[in-house]
Each structure stands twice: as structure tokens, then as C-alpha cells.
Structure 1
């Protein structure tokens, strides 16, 4: 039994929970004090380099989440187990399903993301919208062109769900985890003890490299692992160095 069972269905929870979690976690980063010593970019860089105002980013994210919610509710409802005695898989099986979903999502997003960079039309008219945030921040994690949001995130999530064979209840956990990881990758902060930085090479600094001019053709993998980047030689290693004026910088390793 889970806490929402008496209030909403697993299908509804799988639709709304990732949206709520996104704004709670991104809002947490938004409300933090300056923490200049842990920023990968100065606040001045954020103000000067980003090509889109905060209000437009919020509107863009809300539009993507609306489209995602429509698809998610339709998919989860269509695949609902109509048996009155739905037996949830064992915990080990659910963990295995989530791992499968993580790999499937990474695979889909790597190749679609990379193609959006290689196809000049798609980059100019679709993917470049996300790169208007030269200095990423948490609220902008899902700031994409609606077509990219549909192809990269929504379709990628749907395929991951279907291939893994997870139930709607397991999907609540997976999609919320994926959202938290994506927000963290865009937060622009390298905070001590961040569990994602400890357990994932694909992290805030790794993705920050991709948003910079010298790394835009590298580090396509998202949101979990670096497998495809390393296999297909699009991995760009980096060093974290202290800036003289304070804060940190992710510098690509040359060569």
C-alpha cells in the first residue's frame, strides 16, 4: 500500500507527481542563497550569457509539462492492468525494471539528442532553444522546444516504460527519479555531498560542459550514464578548478 492509494489512482499519480516533484526540487535550488563558492558560473555570467528571460523559461517548461501530462495519462491508462487483484512485482524485480528503463531512456536520448546537433535544421529551429541557456539553472532543466520535449523526453519516457514492463506504480518512482536527476544536472551548483555527484559521472559539471561552446559536440548522454558517449567517442573529460574570483569551473581536458 502507498500513501496515495486512497486518493488517486497510480495512473494519475504517475502523471502529476513528476510535475510536482520538478517544481519542488527546482524551487529548492531557486530559493538557495547565492552560494557563490559552489557555482560553476558567476551570477553575472548567468545574466549576460543567457538569451532568454526567466519568465519565458517558466512558460516553456509549463507547456512541455502539459504535453507530457496528456501523453503520460493516456499511456498509463491505456496500459492499466484491469484485474481487480493487481500484484505488484517484488522489490528486486522493480529495481531491475527501473535499471532497464534507465538504460533505454539513456539510449533513446543520446541518439536523438546527438542527431539534433548534427542536423542543422533541427538544431537551428528546435534544439537551439534549450541552448539559449548557456548557463544552465534548475528551473530551466525542461526548457525545450515543444517538438524536442515531445521527441526527447516524452517519447523517451514512454518507450522506457513500455520496454521495462513496469507497472504504473513503479513508473511513479522512475519518472520522479528521472526528473530529480535532470533538474540536478542543470542546477549549476557543485555542492559538497551531492549524492548524484558521488554516484554518477553524468552530473552537473558533465552536462555543463555540453552547454559551453568548447563542449557542445560532446557529452550528449542524459540523464543517467555516460556509456554511449564513451563507446562512441563523444565523451569530453573535464577538471573542476577554482576560479580566482571565487566559485568553480568545469574545464574540458584538451586533446
Structure 2
């Protein structure tokens, strides 16, 4: 479950967004922009995501099997303790991903040869949430997830909940839609529009934080606030705002 549940959840949730009608009145970019600006075909994105998930599955199997065997019979902790462990894991993952992500932008070699693959999706969409160079996928997501799991001390069962939630949040951040009532937009300042700013040319050096909170962006001066502006032809546009 800890290995394969997040993968299944990814394709169910991302597939849900993919099967929705155009919803032009809620899009952050027009369908024309998506077709014109993105530099990689949909099939290549799917293959890239599947490759990353294969690596993640192998690492997760090794990690979860090793920790389970080492600990023997594990008593599931209380709900309160599990919530604390999940919060710790969220902070650890945010910290790891912020600094690795930021360095991949600042190092010209790493950006040109590795991280730029993710930014070929100038107009993000849900299925492309995990479209990365394999090395980036390993460093940013797989290693980050492993460190979060180990530092928080959560059991494999708790890890299922945490990683499934992290996957859903990541997919939602890339969905390109500002839907009314979306709980992630209500409870997380780091959301679809926040990350969309990062994919724009003027936001490449800002809004590195992912997937949960904008803490490090705000502390280290890389936070770019935004305004949602209605487009005349329908939908919204996330525009950088003066702080």
C-alpha cells in the first residue's frame, strides 16, 4: 500500500482533471496557450511520469520493507501522534524541496540539463505534475519523501496517508484550474495560482516552495504574491502583485 497507493491516487486524481470538460471560465491559461506554449507532447509527459513513479516504487519498496523488518511488529500510534508525525513530515518535505528546487534554478548547469525539463510545461496541467528529469525526480521527490518518512518516525500505514495526500496536493498545484470551493485554495496559500506564478517567465526565481506552505519563500525573500484577474474571454490570470 505504501508503495503503490500514491501511484494509483495520482492517476485517479490527475485523470479526473484530465477528463473534465474545458471549463474555460476557471482556467488560469487558455487551451490555446496550453497547445502553443508547452514544449513537450502529452505522450512524452505520460512516459516521463511513469518512469519517475517506477523509481519511486523501487525506493519505497526497499525503504518500507527494511524499516518494517527492522522494527518487527509495530503498534500503530494514536491519531494525535500520527497527525504530529504528518505535520513534521510536511515541514521536512517542504524544507528539502525548497532548497533543492531553488538550487536547481540557481545552478545554470542543473537548470539547463535537468530542471528545465519540468518547465517545458509552461502551462502546467494535472497529469504533468510529476513530469521531471529522472535525476530531479530521484533527488527532489523520492529522496525528499524518504527523508520525510524517516525523520517523522511514521509507520508504513501512516506513510500511506501522508504520501497520498502529498500526491493529491502536488497534482492540484499543477491542475491549471481555479475551481470554486477547492479546499486546497481555501486552506493553503501555496496553491495552483501560487505555483503558476513560478512557471511564468517573471516568476522563475520566485515561489520555489512546494508542496505545502510558502514559509521558506517568505523567510528568504523569494515570495511573489499574486492577484487573480478575470480575463475578458473567460477564466482567470495569476498576475504578480506588488508586496
Q: How do 1:1-255 residues align onto structure 2 when only pairs under 5 Å count? A: 13-81=1-69, 85-254=73-242
Q: Give the TM-score normalised by the residue count of structure 1.
A: 0.94
Structure 2 residue matching 1:79: 3-state secondary structure: helix
Number of residue pairs matched by the alignment = 243
- Measured after TM superposition, the shift of residue 245 of structure 1 is 1.0
For the aligned residue pairs, the C-alpha RMSD in angstroms reads: 1.0
- Measured after TM superposition, the shift of residue 165 of structure 1 is 0.1
| Alpha-carbon separation, structure 2, partners of 1:93 and 1:45 | 46
Deviation digits for residues 160-194 of structure 1 (CA, Å, limit 9, x no counterpart): 00000000000000000000000000000000000
Q: Give the TM-score normalised by the residue count of structure 2.
A: 0.98
- Measured after TM superposition, the shift of residue 95 of structure 1 is 0.3
- Structure 2 residue runs without a partner (length 5+): none
Question: Residue 165 and residue 243 in structure 1: after superposition, are their counterparts in 2 closer, same or farther (change >3 A)?
Answer: same
| Alpha-carbon separation, structure 2, partners of 1:250 and 1:85 | 50
Question: Residue 136 and residue 86 in structure 1: after superposition, are their counterparts in 2 closer, same or farther (change >3 A)?
Answer: same
- Measured after TM superposition, the shift of residue 82 of structure 1 is 5.7
| Alpha-carbon separation, structure 2, partners of 1:149 and 1:83 | 28
Structure 2 residue matching 1:218: 3-state secondary structure: coil
Deviation digits for residues 86-144 of structure 1 (CA, Å, limit 9, x no counterpart): 31000000000000000000000000000000000000000000000000000000000
| Alpha-carbon separation, structure 2, partners of 1:178 and 1:87 | 24
Per mean C-alpha deviation after superposition, the further-off stretch among 84-93 and 240-249 is: 84-93
- Structure 1 residue runs without a partner (length 5+): 1-12
Question: Residue 42 and residue 90 in structure 1: after superposition, are their counterparts in 2 closer, same or farther (change >3 A)?
Answer: same
